[in-house]
Amino acid sequence: MKTRRSPSMKIDLQRWRMQLVMLLIFGAFIGLVGRLLYMQTFQKDFLVKQSDLRVKRKVEIPAHRGMLLDARGEHLAISIPAAAIVLNAREAEITPAQITQLATGLAINRAWLEGLVRDKKASFVYLRRQVPAEDAEAVMALKIKGVSSRPEYRRYYTAGDTMAQVLGVTNVEDKGLEGIELSYQSALAGVPGLKSVIRDRSGNIVEELDLVRLPKHGHDLTLSLNSQIQYLAYRELQAAFEKFRAQRASAVVLDARTGEILAIANYPAYNPNDRATMTQARARNHAAVDAFEPGSTMKPIFISAALERGIVKPSSRYDASENLVLSGKQIRDTHPKGVITVAEAIQVSSNVVMAKIAVSMDDSDIHDIYTRSGFGKAPGSGLPGETRGQMHSLKSKWKPIEKGALAYGHGISISLLQLARAYTMFANDGLLMPLTVEKRSAPVVGERVISQATAQQVRTMLEMVTQEGGTAPKARVPGYRVAGKTGTAHKLIDGSFAGNRYSASFVGMAPASNPRVVIAVMVDEPSTGVYYAGEVAAPVFSRIMAGTLRFLALPPDAPMQSLPPVRTPVVAEAV
């Protein structure tokens, strides 16, 4: 028998259920309101902080790196606006066609980009740094979700490969890696600014909130380098490199009175605006960082010590008709000249005469003149990686052959920059000038190494070298008196001298009556069969010096018909 519910009970049950549901909903609502009030009152700071951590960021405002200028104010290195293109693969929404467009626009590997998008693991990946502004704009115009850009700067070098090794380069972070960019990093680099922004899920900035710190831009640096002289030196080195099929060639041009480096060039080089051309060998500033045996270019420095101590005079006579044996080793001249004066020995580059003088001197006399001339220590020009070279120590007594070899530039290694600096003492009546790659704003005082009388005597001898009967008539410059010295040396390979590998160098000054410019040139391993410095390096010196004197508008001190006849023989020096 079934029990029937009354209609009134059914209605009461429905009403009770409805009231219960309404009570639960109202309770939940009250709970939510209470929770919101609690969070807004007691957890407001915590929630704001958590929100800021997710969307609010402090981002750097790139600082503009200081410019590099030459001595005439020409721009050598400038920072131009660029952008970094960034991918948030987790948020990216990109079609295959857009992947192709993006890879093409950024010149990156499509398969690599496709893999990043497919994996969706990386939230921040640089697709490419230092993208030119116009290319970055084209990429952003694709409006690909997950792809964003960040402002930065890209370094541009107006002189290209002609100044590559001396200026150096910066990395993608705009920090100096080589050359002046490295050694003057602290002055050139600015301090980035800081600003607060809100980013969306894709990393794009949707709102800039406030400026925390203004960027502090780097200082501009005016160099002593003259871009015209630098280009001239580079061009002549390239011509010599190709003509003599050399391994490399270098040149240093100095203002003899101030010690300012007007040019320091090497060939071959690379284009700093195209890093694909950059190799470790081509990035080296060989003139400053590599040492070589200078050969006979050391003879004038050595002979100045003998003159200072009264051991010889320019007119002192020595017999150079026969080879000299020291410590069982033979020292010879290419063409024995009989009895000649010290001045003539410099003119024809006699090893025998230099060695005879050396054995009559104390070890300390030779060591002192070389160290006081700047050898065995870095020149301190402001260029990074300057070599100290190698000098004989005075800890043990030198053998006669060691003293003889040092007199004509063997057994010592120096850089071309050190050699050029040493000759400033002959140009400045005995004062050795401190070097700098920065433009000087005040006069500088040199260090006295030899007396004025000795410097002038040596300068007269050096002028004889460029006359007929000397080793470097091809170093002459029309309208100017030129003084200088050749150096041809066997290269030292694995501890022994290579029989058919040479370095040919020439260092000199002009106008010889009142020197203003010192230039040193070195051609490494000429391989055409012509290797004497008078044939290889002296003509390069002549052309660089002629252009430099013209650029500096220095008045002539000799007749314009001062060049030797085309077929004037070059006296071969002892090697």
Same domain, 302 and 180: no
Same domain, 523 and 385: yes
Which has more pLDDT, 73 or 196? 73
Same domain, 148 and 241: no
Buried b or exposed e, range 314-345, using 16+ CB within 10 angstroms: bebebebeeebebeeeebbbbebbeebbbbbb
Q: Is 42 left (phi over 0), alpha (psi -120 to 50) or beta?
A: alpha
Same domain, 241 and 218: no
Q: What is the pLDDT of residues 44-100, one digit of tens each?
A: 666 555 555 555 666 667 788 999 999 999 999 999 999 999 998 888 888 999 999
Which of 106, 104, 153 is CA-nearest to residue 125?
106
CA dist 153 and 62 (Å) reads 7
CA dist 264 and 270 (Å) reads 15
Same domain, 172 and 294: no
In this prediction the pTM is 0.85
Same domain, 270 and 218: no
Using an 8 Å Cβ cutoff, are 55 and 107 in contact? no
Residue 12 has pLDDT above 90, yes or no: no
Same domain, 491 and 523: yes
Same domain, 316 and 438: yes
- 46 occurs within a structural domain: no
Same domain, 442 and 533: yes
Number of domains in the chain: 2
Residues ≥6 apart with Cβ < 8 Å to 401: 326, 327, 328, 329, 331
Q: Which residues are catalytic?
A: 296
CA dist 556 and 479 (Å) reads 5
CATH number at residue 238: 3.40.710.10
Q: What type of residue sits at position 447?
A: E
Residues ≥6 apart with Cβ < 8 Å to 268: 238, 241, 248, 282
Q: What is the pLDDT of residues 142-188, one digit of tens each?
A: 999 889 888 888 999 999 999 999 999 999 888 999 999 999 999 99
- H helices of 43-95, where? 44-55
- Could you list the residue range(s) of the whole structural domain that residue 521 is in? 227-275+286-551
Same domain, 177 and 322: no
Which of 489, 459, 484 is CA-nearest to residue 474?
484
CA dist 112 and 108 (Å) reads 8
Q: What is the pLDDT of residues 351-407, one digit of tens each?
A: 999 999 999 999 999 999 999 999 999 999 999 999 999 998 888 899 999 999 999
Same domain, 515 and 373: yes
